[in-house]
Structure 1
Amino acid sequence: MTPSTDPHDIPAPQPTLSPATWRGDLGGALGDLGTLLPFLVGFIVLAGVHPTSILLAFGLSLITVGWRLGIPFPVQPMKAVGAAALASAAVAGQNMQAVLALAALITGVFWLIAAWSGLARWLARHVSRDGIHGVVLGLGIALIVAGLRRIEGDLLLGAASVVLALVLLGRGGWLTMPVLMALGWAVGNWRQPELLQALASAPWTLQLPAPQWPALNQPGVWFAAIGLAAAQIPLTFGNAILGIVAETRRLFPAVALDENRAARGTGLMNLMAGGLGAPPMCFGAGGMAAQVACGARTGRAPIFLGSVLLLAGLFASGQLTALLGLLPAGTLGAMLFVAGFSLTIGTAGSSRDKEARAVLLTTAAVSVWNAGVGVVVGVVLEAGLRARVMRI
């Protein structure tokens, strides 16, 4: 098996990407909406997060990463935090927006410390290439499974959307998300015409974010926020640090991105989100794979999407909320499926021996459940195989 040197120093086959085009970047900007939209709608509708707060946080973050890195770099909700908050399991009876905003501030402080101390890079050096690819593969499978679960409740539209997406992906990809969203909105309007009426009647006025500073001293808010932030840390390390760095080096090897820089960006982004009253955010390997698969090649993709979210947050948060609610489950499931499919095929290359395959597949299997635990399992398994304590 490959010796445990720095996994990032091991060259890997680089894909050949098509040239950058404006239409590709505009189409690819919509590629990550399958992950973003379900949480965006859930935070606004179920958790009571002010639309302007969350839209401004995502918009500003997307514009910043697109400008700074110059590549299609995704910004996503933190999934463990979002799942717990939307299920109300960890924050029952609390001001959910205040809890989420405080969780973002705590998350920001943690990842800034991890970046400035070198902890993120030190941890990453102990995870092999097979472990990293296993995390990416597991996240891709998890997205596919999440997509199929949504499609299960809207089978005809979901199956048709997946087939249509795969056909469009084979023809350049840039039309994939625009066509899926247009189809979804058409079906959603037919099923729920009252939502379109709500969209037309929503007022166009300047909206300001709703900071949560006064609510942070409420009983129980700190306890709930610390619990949410702590539960997310392992998953963020696996997906938003290791995964996004590996995917960036695979797709855009000329971009100078390491684990410390990714951790620093995650920290600063969450301090800003918490200040605006928004939930925690992170980067995501699946989002990059989806954007690239749909045609994105430059930072214009996140800048375009970020600008739309920023303007919508300031002037049309009500309209966007109604528009997002119009998309059926089958459409959202197909978007998640495309993101997961694009991520999994990126780990298919390079030959491996039996032990390396064991590390890859075991890490992937656990990462489907939790990427952070997947990292730990992969490291332990590889160390045991290398020391001959474990045998396969």
Structure 2
Amino acid sequence: MAHSISDEMSSTSTSTPFLRRSRWVPSTVKLKTSLFSELSGAVGDLGTYIPIVLALSLVNSLDLSTTLIFTSLYNIATGLLFGVPMPVQPMKSIASVAISTTPPLTIPQIAAAGLSVAAVLLLLGATGLMSVLYRYLPLPVVRGVQLSQGLNFAFSAIKYIRFEQNLATSKSGPPRPWFSLDGVALALAAVLFLVLTTGAGDEPPPPPQQEQEQEPNETVDRGEKVHRRLRVLSRVPAALIVFVFGVVLCFIRDPSIFGDLRFGPSRISLVKISWEDLKIGFFSAAIPQIPLSVLNSVIAVCKLSGDLFPEREVSAMHVSVSVGIMNFVGCWFGAMPCCHGAGGLAGQYRFGGRSGASVVFLGIAKLVLALVFGNSLGRILGEFPIGILGVLLLFAGIELAMASKDMNTKQESFVMLVCAAVSLTGSSAALGFFVGIALYLLLKLREVQFECRGFGFGFGFCTSNKAKSSLDDQQERSTFALVPNMITDDVVIMWEIVRGAMWESFCILYWCNASDKVYNICVIIDRVHRLILLNKGLFPNYDLYCWGAGGLGNMVEVEDT
């Protein structure tokens, strides 16, 4: 049920028969594991969802029924479209500003902030700029953002477990008592239960293989028993059991909840947004939310989906457009601004979610609760043990942070850790991101060849004869060379290279000696560093290779003419 994020999901798991055989079930929601595993994964992101929604309803008078209805529709739509447990979570920066501002932001101002972020993400997605950004962002920087977000979740989870929480002010109170219906001992018991059932998130080891010529022995028998026990434990819907136990405790802590329940949803109405609301919402809440949404709600979640589901990696363009459309629909009716989040995806995967069915089940449950109980559901959520929410959030944060373990070189780890450290201490993922980008470029600058003669300058990564054999092994060689009779206009050749840079996945760093004869201009392409231009006359000691603008991306040696 629970696997490490590095495990490939290419092997098919046992699926629930009725969903596998029903032709009317879309392929995106056909179960990849057991039904109970998907149900357990469905509650994996509630550790962030419930506290923020409850705080907004208490402080900003957010209509809980309306938010549940729209987020349930978001869950169902994303599950059907993406085919992975794509979460729907509150926009955390907007929620933080809305709660902490004095006076708190009004619903029209919150809606204006959500619409502003939606417009930016929809524009980036529809124009393809988000895909370009996702494609060229250095992986160590993305891992740094994921690591910082995962650790941030884990730190918040520890506070939930250790201290009383005032959700209305988002501040910690006195230490939580050890023995109570929301005590530290209860949270630790939930942690022990989740560790015993799900382990560290890795798949149970395969059964021990016995050689044919050997007789069965005690070691093999013991290994088979361990394997069977771990396999049984992995099928327990651990997160679902913990969450249902928390719901039961709500009614035990305050039996008067039964008398306060009211049936039926609240009336959905259109929110009137003035220019003043738009100005306040944009400058106070949307501006800090935009970089967080780009990095964590699109870039990080797409990268994590590729790690968890290599055969079903979601597109950055589709995720960006999805966030834009969700908020353009819901914010006009007072629903909470929502996005997708890497932490939610990690949490749902950690507890068993493997397909879109996981979030579809969650959406159906939200919709039923909203239609039956409406805003009175807030009475139940208000008594939910915060320590148990902290436990769910802790496992989700650790799972997200473990995505960074594929940084194998010291340079990659250095960039990732600096990015994460700045993000955590500066309380801004955007700040850590820009510091990580600057550090990455500085480290790459150390590898750049530089020489100055007269007015000619050259920058680039040169491929010597030593690397020639590796190029031959990795890719086929094609024939392309720039010769005087082929192109004679410097403007034309510059345009061809720019066009190739736009469409062939590399970029121009520097143009040197544009007035030189065309046959003296060589284009250097390094697939990792993407620095392409060099003047051969400046570096006669290197064997240079030419990139065919508009070609297939193969390198050929440029012969002297």
- So what's the TM-score if we normalise by structure 1? 0.88
| Residues 49-60 of structure 1 mapped to structure 2, 5 A cutoff | 49-60=62-73
Asked if residue 257 in structure 1 is aligned to residue 303 in structure 2, the reply is no
- State whether structure 2 residue 120 is matched by structure 1 residue 63: no
What one-letter code is carried by the residue in structure 1 that aligns with 2:277?
V
Residues 165, 319 of structure 1: alpha-carbon distance in 2 compared, 3 angstrom cutoff: farther
**What is the DSSP-based 3-state SS (H/G/I as helix, E as strand, rest coil) of the residue aligned with 2:262?**
coil
1:118-171 residue CA offsets vs partner (Å, 9 max, x unmatched): 221232233211111111111110100010111121333333322322223223
Over the aligned positions, Cα root-mean-square deviation in angstroms equals 2.2
Question: Which of these residues, 111, 119, 123, is aligned with residue 129 of structure 2?
Answer: 119
Correspondence for 2:189 among 149, 160, 169:
160
1: distance between equivalents of 2:122 and 2:79?
A: 20
Higher mean Cα deviation, 156-165 or 285-294?
156-165
Instruction: Give the greater-gyration-radius structure (CA).
Output: 2
Greater strand fraction, Structure 1 or Structure 2? 2
Ranges in structure 1 where 5+ consecutive residues have no aligned partner: 1-11
User: For the Cα contact (< 8 Å) 2:407–2:413, is it kept in 1?
Assistant: no
Per-residue displacement from partner, 1:163-199 (whole Å, max 9, x unpaired)? Answer: 3222232232752222222333344444x31xx4234
Aligned equivalents of 1:302 and 1:202: distance in 2? 26
Show the counterpart of 2:244. 182
Structure 2 residue corresponding to 1:97, chosen from 80, 102, 107: 107
The structure whose residues are more often helix, as a share, is 1
CA displacement 1:222-265 (0-9 Å, x = unmatched): 22210211110111111101110001111112225222221111
Q: 1:249 to 1:324 in 2, by over 3 A?
A: same
The answer to whether the 8 A contact 1:240-1:284 is kept is: yes
Once the two structures are superposed, the pairs formed by residues 323-334 of structure 1 within 5 Å of their partners are 323-334=380-391
Query: In the alignment, residue 367 of structure 1 is paired with which amino acid?
Result: S
Corresponding pairs, count: 369
Change (3 A) 1:206 1:56: closer
Per-residue CA distance 1:50-98 (angstroms, 9 max, x = gap): 1122112211110000011121110100111111112234xx265x211
In the alignment, does 2:232 pair up with 1:207?
Answer: no
After superposition, the Cα gap between the structure-2 partners of 1:125 and 1:71, relative to the gap in structure 1 and judged at 3 Å, is: closer
Mapped to 1, the partners of 2:433 and 2:379 lie a distance apart of 39
Partners of 1:93 and 1:142 in 2: CA distance:
24
Which residue of structure 1 aligns with residue 171 of structure 2? none
How far the C-alpha of 1:217 sits from its partner, in A, is: 2.0
Please give the alpha-carbon distance, in whole angstroms, between the structure 2 residues aligned to 1:323 and 1:308.
Answer: 15
**In 2 relative to 1, CA 13–323 (structure 1 residues): closer, same or farther, beyond 3 Å?**
closer
Matched residue type, 2:263 = W
- 1:338 aligned to 374, 395, 403, which one? 395
> Separation in 2 of the partners of 1:137 and 1:111?
23
Which of 1 and 2 has higher RCO (CA within 8 Å, sep 6+)? 1
Once the 2 structures are TM-superposed, how far is the Cα of residue 338 of structure 1 from its aligned partner?
1.2
- The question of whether the paired residues in 1 share the 8 Å contact of 2:265 and 2:374 is answered with no
Residue of structure 2 equivalent to 1:15: 8
Distance 1:166 1:381, change over 3 A: same
Deviation at 1:350, TM superposition (A): 4.9
Secondary structure at the aligned position of 1:125 is classed as helix
Q: Which aligned pairs between 1:1-392 and structure 2 lie closer than 5 A?
A: 14-16=7-9, 19-89=32-102, 92=103, 94=105, 96-153=106-163, 154=176, 155-170=184-199, 171-172=233-234, 175-190=237-252, 192-193=253-254, 196-213=255-272, 216-217=273-274, 220-227=276-283, 228-352=285-409, 354-368=410-424, 369-388=427-446
Alignment check: 8 A CA contact 2:65 2:265 kept? no
